[in-house]
Chains A and B, each alone.
Chain A
Amino acid sequence: MTTYLGSLQLHLQQLLSVDSTVLVMGEDILDPYGGAFKVTKGLSTKFPDRVITTPISEAGFIGVANGMALRGLKPIVEIMFGDFITLGADQIINYAAKFAAMYQSALEYHLVIRMPVGGGRGYGPTHSQCLEKLFLGIPHITILAPSIYHDPGLMLASAIQQPGPVLFLEHKLLYSQELITPANSPFAVNLSDESFPLVRLTNNTEKTADLTLITYGGALWLPALLQKMAEEEIWLDVLVPSSLNQKAHPTLAVSASHTGRVVIVEEGAGPFGWGAQIAYDLQHAMLNRLTAPIAVIHAENTIIPATQALEQLHLPNLQKIEQKIYEVLS
């Protein structure tokens, strides 16, 4: 029984214990508070020298982390809400992502920027977004988004070993959730053996899947969707990558070429997103073998309303996904 939060806490502790070059920075991360989402709880008590609370200077302290990383330390930076990453965009895009390639130097460079993202909590327009699309397509940035089917702590441990900057997205609805593993899931769960695994789920291991569903990160509607579709005899091959800033994982095309029908779901708003790129990659890999056009579901193309009922309507939800699945199958 491990929660998403528990896994992150545990692995952060371990990372700091085994590697003295790892340090953690961010706003309000010291005990007893332990960070806005408690990910660093207990950490500053154990490692007072390597858990640094910062002023409210996102650009500044990401810059500081950049300097530290260039000088051989491995900072893990927490951005209190992923929305605030805009303030650090310059340091990420024009500094962190460029150092190694721009200096043409084999720099040892490790930096992870963690941030809670996503809606569903009624936090409103500036505390609920999935802004990763701003960074997708920027070369030399790794963007990771562990889902409830991944082990976020393990991924964090691999992330800090990854060369170059890593944006590490934690959907805030997931923290309290218990991780779903092959052992405790009612449906088949498979993880690829990559350090940032692809999760593959299906609601019927015996039948050929009718449709490929691709999503990442939050996607808390997944367990219910699998159940609901099983009742409707619709067999899904669900693929949940954890590494976003790269071309479609080859398994996606394998699945799509079996089913010929693909629905992609992402929480970010509007078009020009990850889903569009994956659809493009699949369309390329598949020639004309798709039976139906690839559908992409994302949040509505406007700001995220604070009021709960409207927020629910704004974000991708079970009903919208269900309807889209039927549409694509029809």
Chain B
Amino acid sequence: MQSVPALEWHLYQQMYLIRRTEETLLDLFSQGLLFGTVHTCIGQEAIAVGVVNAIDKSKDVIWSNHRGHGHFLAYCDNIEGLIAEVMGKETGVCRGIGGSQHLHYNNFYTNGILGGTVACAVGSAMAEKKKNSGAITVVFLGDGAMGEGIVYESLNMASLWKLPVLFVLEHNQYAQTTPTSLAHTGDLSNRPKAFGIETREIKADNVISVNRLAQECVHKVRTQQKPLFITMHTYRFAPHSKGDDVRPAAEIETAKRSDPLTHMRWALAQINERRVASIENEVDMRIIEAVETVKQQLVLAPEMFFAGRQP
């Protein structure tokens, strides 16, 4: 039997966990148990897992966006905290107040407003640099968010002030329903070059190669103390949030042929199918248990929340 590095099993386990958790969230939504909205990263997991496993989780900072469950789970593996948050329970990471798009846990932050997170990320990089903590900041943004002016203000300042920020563009070709061709001109991945920022590009259907590239970039950002911008070409298989997909079915089917999860599962199963199955089994059980537990949990008491209200 060939031996597979532990990291690779771990990357697969995380991708599988993200995929199943998000599918579960969509199920809960269909059952009416989940109020609000979710944006899943089904099909894009290789980016979340590949990049987040390249950083130093003990100190590096992550800024994510509306499509942040994958980044979050790859960062802290806290299924219960996420499901509870999305289901609005007091045990959620933000006590159910933030919800799917507003997560914060240790050095991980998200916000539902597109674009502004990039400026915040530049700021946290600046703070960590001033503090000499050695931490870098990673910020995930979509092709749609590249339409916001603040992104360019941020690229400029990050480069101007030589800040350790890794920008990760998840280019999934759509912003909600709008294809990139209707929103942008020129090559998105080239834009940062105008600010003197080094760029990289990759097709993100293989978590191992995404992770290798991310490791290299993280190292570079950390040691050279300047920003770097990676464009990850990807595709989301599920709707933007729920029931709002207008893309041609054939296009989605074609894209699914390069599903990063299927690819890796196939490769690992060649080597140790039983181990793959047991990893999946364990994840499935964890998710089922988490959902059952969360269902029993309570919503934050109104007096607790409104205690923070201003007079």
Q: Verify if B202 is at the interface (C-beta below 8 Å from A).
A: no
Q: Within the assembled complex, what's the spacing in Å between the Cα atoms of A59 and B150?
A: 6
A290 within 8 A of B: no
Residue-by-residue, is B61-105 near A (CB-CB < 8 Å gives 1, otherwise 0)? 101000000000000000000000000000000110110001110
Q: Are A73 and B120 in contact (CB under 8 A)?
A: no
Tell me whether B150 and A247 are in contact (CB under 8 A): no
Cβ-defined contact, A70 with B160, below 8 A? no
A71 touches B116 (CB 8 A): no
Residue of A nearest to B163 (CB): A64
Q: Say whether B154 contacts A71, CB under 8 Å.
A: no
Residue among B113, B137, B150, B154 with the most chain A CB within 10 A? Answer: B150
Q: Report the separation of the CA atoms of residues A23 and B127 in the bound assembly, to the nearest whole angstrom.
A: 10
Interface residues in B, total, Cβ within 8 A: 41
Q: Contact check: which of B109, B127, B310 meets A246 at CB < 8 Å?
A: B310
CB distance from B274 to the nearest CB of A (A): 41
Give chain A residues whose Cβ lies under 8 Å from the Cβ of B308.
100-101
A103 within 8 A of B: yes
Are B98's CB and A73's CB within 8 A? no
Given contacts A61-B157, A71-B128, A102-B98, contact A95 B123 (CB under 8 A): no
B27-62 residues at the A interface, CB under 8 angstroms:
61
In the assembled complex, the CB of B91 is this many whole angstroms from the nearest CB of chain A, namely 11
Say yes or no: A63-B94 contact (C-beta < 8 A), given A72-B131, A73-B130, A91-B116: no
Is A323 an interface residue when CB atoms closer than 8 A count as contact? Answer: no
Q: Are B150 and A60 in contact (CB under 8 A)?
A: yes
Q: Does B119 touch A at the CB level, under 8 Å?
A: yes
Select A104's contact among B98, B113, B154, beta carbons within 8 Å. B98
Q: Which residues of A contact B103 (CB under 8 A)?
A: 103
Name the CB-closest residue of B to A94.
B113
Cβ of B257 under 8 Å from chain A: no
Does A105 make an interface contact (CB < 8 A)? Answer: yes
Contact call A64/B61, Cβ cutoff below 8 A:
no
Residue-wise interface mask of A (56-99) relative to B, using a CB-CB cutoff of 8 A (1 in contact, 0 not): 01011111111111111100000000000000001100110011
Residues of B close to A246: CB separation below 8 A: 310-311
- Please, how many angstroms separate the alpha-carbon atoms of A66 and B127 in the complex? 10
A95 to B150, CA, bound (A): 14
Residues from chain A with Cβ under 8 Å of B122 in the complex: 60, 63-64, 67
Residues A225-251 near B (CB distance < 8 A): 245-247
Q: Are the C-beta atoms of B119 and A71 separated by less than 8 Å?
A: no
A140 at the interface (CB under 8 A from B): yes
- Cβ of A190 within 8 Å of any chain B Cβ, yes or no, is no
In the complex, chain A residues whose CB is within 8 Å of the CB of B118: 63
The reply to whether A55 and B153 form a contact with Cβ atoms under 8 Å apart is: yes
Name the residue of chain A whose CB is nearest to the CB of B102: A102
Residue of chain B at shortest CB distance from A90: B116
If A101-B97, A139-B309 touch, whether A94 touches B111 (CB-CB below 8 Å) is: yes
Note all chain A residues with C-beta closer than 8 A to B121: 67
Chain B residues, CB < 8 A from A64: 119-120, 122-123, 126, 154, 157
In the assembled complex, which residues on chain B have CB atoms less than 8 Å from the CB atom of A312? none
* 13 A-B contacts (beta carbon < 8 Å): A55-B160, A60-B154, A60-B157, A63-B118, A66-B119, A67-B124, A70-B120, A90-B150, A91-B119, A102-B104, A104-B94, A139-B309, A139-B310
9 more CB-based (< 8 A) A-B contacts, given A63-B150, A103-B103: A57-B156, A67-B119, A67-B122, A70-B124, A70-B127, A91-B120, A94-B116, A100-B308, A102-B104
